[in-house]
Structure 1
Amino acid sequence: MTSKCWVGFNLAPPIGLYRLKNYLEKNELKCDILDFDIDSEQSYLQRVSEGDYDVIGMSVTHLNMKDDLDTLLRFRDAARRSAKKCIFIAGGHEATLNYKQWLESGMVDIIFLGFAEDALSAFCVKLSFNETNGNHLEIAHEIAGVVFYKSDGKLVYKSSPRLTSEKFRQLSFNNIKSAIPYDKYWQKVRDDKIDGFNHTEFIVETVRLYTSSHCPRKCGFCSSQSFLPESQKSVAPILMLSAEDVYELVLYHIDKYGARGFLFSDDDFPVGNREGIVRILNFSKLIVNAKNSGRIPKEVKFFCQSRIADFLDQKNVRWNVIEAMKNAGFDNTGLGIETFSDKLLKSPFINKIGVTTNDYRIVLDALLEKGIIPIIFLIVGIPDGTVEEQIETMYVAMEYIRKGADVSVLARLRANPGSPVYSLGGYDISTTTWKNPYTGTEIVINDYFIPKNEELSRIVGMIQETTESVINNIKIQRGWDKNIVPKSLVGIATFIATAKLLHRDAAANDFTRTINDILDEKIH
């Protein structure tokens, strides 16, 4: 099952879970996916209570750890009502990087590490042949890529095998070509009336693809870089599908599902090294040729995440990359900007190596000049930031929004297990707790870093709630019945909320004016 934290936020199939399901079913193992976006939790609880499942798993998240534990508790209660002994498992980034807390909660019996298809398949095959002698955990002793506590309380950690290029291609190329109910998700998107904002076009028939193994960057706040190295306890080079493989996946999804948009969900699709830059140039060329020949419709669009450094070579703009992407149909790209303060770029919390805010401006202007909309990812409340740096960052972002950029904003800097700053020390962390009602075990969950600055420290815990109030006021004023609003509008609403809480009324009014201008189509 999915984590509930994404419900109503990313209306798209959980590709990792479908990849896992496909892998298991090729080994003749029956598998269902519960996605809280489109499925009924109650119907699955009923099936668990009737003994339909031997293994129940969740792709857990730290962002919503408390709710995930509550969900697992409900499923454990349902399992207790059945005559069947169920084993509860967890996987994904959070499970791999924070395995001790999940196991200590008592809600998870086994953690499957990293790319877990082989390990889970081997476990389920043995389970299906009743090779347990009544103790499901005995099977796990024979499998690499698992963590669990033995009955005597001893932790057993068996790292994953090293992920090879061949295995990565098998999982991310061969194994992704199977039935995924895109129609159900796309209809839900239509029903929820999601659309674009500012200059961004929202394409309902969009497919998400992952084409690389993990993030190559070293941002201080992010744990993506640690996922694969930690799971196999060794240095892990970036693995990626070839340009030809990515192109074949595009053709497959157009032909099978009628996809009109593709979101490459890699943290950095161009990867940033020579091989990655060559790949995006070759991929773009393949797409241009396919559109010119009529193999794929010209209106098919592409979206990806990238980094400022991808578009610079010795501080010179890589115009060939930008132009190739635009010609292929890349209409926007997400950029991990985080802040427009040069001091904070060097902060251990951000750690943007080798770039400056001047580089930011050069690349943002270059993308806009060629017609690619940059989506600027920013963080409010960086722990060692000042109010002035926060206000400056928001004003620069608004400058680029008026030029045609979009924003996506985090209202606080999360304490993510596996990130370089997670155990930094010297900074207070806001926490929450969860208590196991059966054992009394209490789990302390790290939530977000509290800024050193007194003003930012005072407001950081109130920004999200105030943002929701700003959005609700916009909905009322505009007569909207949208269930979900565009991320960029949420981002500007976060700026308004932050300015209001800091008593910077002039800034709040400026940001409000920008939203109104966009909604009144005064910015073109």
Structure 2
Amino acid sequence: MRFKKVAFIVPPFDGQNQDNRGLYLGVGYISQYLIDNDIENKVIDTRFGYTVQDIKKKLADYKPDLVAVVVFTNEYQKTYDVVKAIKNKNYKIVLGGYHVSTIKSKILEETDADFAIKVEGEDAMLELCKGEPFEKILNLLYRKDGKIIENPTRPPVTDLDKFNFPRYESFEFEKYDHLIPICTSRGCPFLCTFCTVETTTGRQFRVRSPENVLAEIKMWYNKGYREFCFVDDNFTLLKERAIELCKLIKKSKLTGLKMRCAGIRADRVDREVLTYMRNVGFDQLGVGVEVGNDKMLKIIKKGETLAQIEKAIKEIVRLKFDLQLYFVIGNQYETKEDVEDSFKLALKYPISDAHFYNPLPFPGSELYNWVSKNGYFVEDFKTYINEHCNFSVKPVFATPELSVKERVRLLKKSKGVEKTILRRYIARKMEPSFKMFATPLSFIVMFSPMRWSINTFFKHPVGKLAIKTFIKMFKVDVHYL
């Protein structure tokens, strides 16, 4: 055995969602895989406020022989700084995560890490720990004789049931929000121009069996948990599989579930599958609409039509799901009129929330290549990826159709559209209880100091209990705030 004791370090999600306390599923799977193969490990999640000095102390106390650090592309430099600070002769360092899959061998040029693992990490990590020869470990990057060696990419794992789902035994579990994340598939076959799926999870769509997913839900259900978040990119891509899972949940009499799913394609749902989902406890769905007309849907290669999207939205709201829509502002050849079409679509239906994202082109995406080829960047990669996020209103590229000034204006306008949609949602939910006062109350709730108070209150144990009671009484999910 080369490495018997592993410490994982999860970096903060600054700039994306600083208050996110969700369980990190990727590390959960690898941690569980190592445990199943008798390799001890511990997770140090810096989202709980751990400083570099805290990390050093925890590593000194735990005494691992391998430290595995997750690297997100956004604000990767902060993680690089952590790697530099914790470098120690007592252990080796391996990097993993989407950023490794995106820039590959360059990550070892930019850091002092000993190894890196690209794409899927479970098997490569296990083989690295067990002592397989470096040159035989697919997906591994390593150093040899002063050179960086990148091994071939491992074929995607098609039998996802071979991985036990995470129990989070190595996590500080009680510190997390106990909304249990579940991933039932990997990969995406579609060609959206802004997406890096080809270099990260791959285009080959692979699934867990409905029986395996049910076993995971049952395990948590028997421990008292009822809230689940399905994090698939395409949960309903295989409609019959989604329906079969719903049938198994119903047959198992798992009542009182509250489930959400943000990975829904509009052209992969219909009344049948949505009804099954609604009947077993799914109550929140998210649909990636991206743009507001057929011209732009073709340009970004979404593979859908506006008619399909609107049909899906109508079915989802008819069945009384809370519905979030996701848009990207400022794609290739997009004009201000096209963006206005996105605003109109978002405001057209009684949805719960909408997010308009500022596109940050990632290496490996068609959008990145297009912007680079045309010289449209107004920020260099290192600057925008470390200083900006998808929620910011500062563009990182401009086009003949949309100048920097116009992009800023539209991004700022999108924040107003988001607030309008959220306020309408709150008013609708409060109307049965407050009647004519629901609309005025929704303005009060959306007032900035009130939103800040709610978010601050939510972090406190007493506040969490109060918020849960509020949600139960008025069916208003204040997580959207």
Say whether the fold is shared (TM-score over 0.5). yes
Among candidates 343, 357, 360, match of residue 414 of structure 1: 360
CA distance in 2, matches of 1:87, 1:381: 42
Q: Any idea what the Cα deviations from partners look like across 1:183-239, whole Å, max 9, x if unmatched?
A: 3213xxxxxxxxxxxxxxxxxx4210111122232211111243244xxxxxx6321
Taking structure 1 as reference, are residues 394 and 464 closer, same or farther at Cα in structure 2, changes over 3 Å only?
closer
Taking structure 1 as reference, are residues 466 and 321 closer, same or farther at Cα in structure 2, changes over 3 Å only?
closer
Q: Any idea what the Cα deviations from partners look like across 1:48-80, whole Å, max 9, x if unmatched?
A: 46792332222211122222222323323xx3x
CA distance in 1, matches of 2:353, 2:446: 21
Residue 35 (structure 2) pairs with residue 43 (structure 1) = no
Instruction: Return the letter of the residue paired with 1:212.
Output: S
Q: What corresponds to 1:145 in structure 2? A: 139
**Superposed, which structure 2 residues align to 1:256-295 within 5 Å?**
256=223, 258-271=224-237, 276-291=238-253
Instruction: Return the letter of the residue paired with 2:222.
Output: D
Q: What corresponds to 2:194 in structure 1? A: 221
Q: What corresponds to 2:98 in structure 1? A: 93
Q: What fraction of aligned residue pairs are identical, expressed as a percent?
A: 19
CA distance in 1, matches of 2:402, 2:446: 25
Q: Provide the alpha-carbon RMSD of the alignment.
A: 3.5
Are the counterparts in 2 of residues 378 and 408 from structure 1 also a CA contact under 8 Å? yes
CA distance in 2, matches of 1:464, 1:3: 28
Among candidates 327, 336, 339, match of residue 378 of structure 1: 327
Are the counterparts in 2 of residues 375 and 406 from structure 1 also a CA contact under 8 Å? yes
Q: What is the TM-score when the length of structure 1 is the normalising length? A: 0.70
Q: Any idea what the Cα deviations from partners look like across 1:278-297, whole Å, max 9, x if unmatched?
A: 11111112222333xxxx22
CA distance in 2, matches of 1:434, 1:373: 37
Among candidates 157, 170, 184, match of residue 162 of structure 2: 170
Taking structure 1 as reference, are residues 360 and 304 closer, same or farther at Cα in structure 2, changes over 3 Å only?
same
- Equivalent pairs counted in the alignment come to 416
CA distance in 2, matches of 1:143, 1:102: 18
Among candidates 370, 390, 395, match of residue 339 of structure 2: 390
Instruction: Return the letter of the residue paired with 1:27.
Output: N
Q: What corresponds to 2:398 in structure 1? A: 451
Q: What is the TM-score when the length of structure 2 is the normalising length? A: 0.76
Are the counterparts in 2 of residues 91 and 112 from structure 1 also a CA contact under 8 Å? yes
Residue 14 (structure 2) pairs with residue 14 (structure 1) = no
Taking structure 1 as reference, are residues 13 and 463 closer, same or farther at Cα in structure 2, changes over 3 Å only?
farther
Taking structure 1 as reference, are residues 110 and 462 closer, same or farther at Cα in structure 2, changes over 3 Å only?
farther
Taking structure 1 as reference, are residues 364 and 456 closer, same or farther at Cα in structure 2, changes over 3 Å only?
farther
> What SS class does the counterpart of residue 176 from structure 1 fall into?
coil
Q: What corresponds to 1:239 in structure 2? A: 206
Q: CA deviation at 1:461?
A: 6.4
**Superposed, which structure 2 residues align to 1:297-376 within 5 Å?**
297-311=255-269, 318-347=270-299, 350-353=300-303, 355-376=304-325
Residue 125 (structure 2) pairs with residue 159 (structure 1) = no
CA distance in 2, matches of 1:478, 1:62: 29
Q: Any idea what the Cα deviations from partners look like across 1:483-514, whole Å, max 9, x if unmatched?
A: 499xxxxxxxxxxxxxxxxxxxxxxxxxxxxx
Q: What corresponds to 1:73 in structure 2? A: 84
After the TM superposition, which of the residue ranges 356-365 and 32-41 deviates more from structure 2?
A: 32-41
Residue 261 (structure 2) pairs with residue 250 (structure 1) = no
CA distance in 2, matches of 1:302, 1:464: 27
Are the counterparts in 2 of residues 415 and 446 from structure 1 also a CA contact under 8 Å? no
Q: CA deviation at 1:409?
A: 2.6
Residue 351 (structure 2) pairs with residue 404 (structure 1) = yes
> What SS class does the counterpart of residue 43 from structure 2 fall into?
coil
Q: Any idea what the Cα deviations from partners look like across 1:61-113, whole Å, max 9, x if unmatched?
A: 1122222222323323xx3xxxx343222112221121133122124332112
Instruction: Return the letter of the residue paired with 1:351.
Output: K
CA distance in 2, matches of 1:434, 1:455: 23
Say which structure, 1 or 2, has more relative contact order (CA 8 Å, 6+ apart). 1
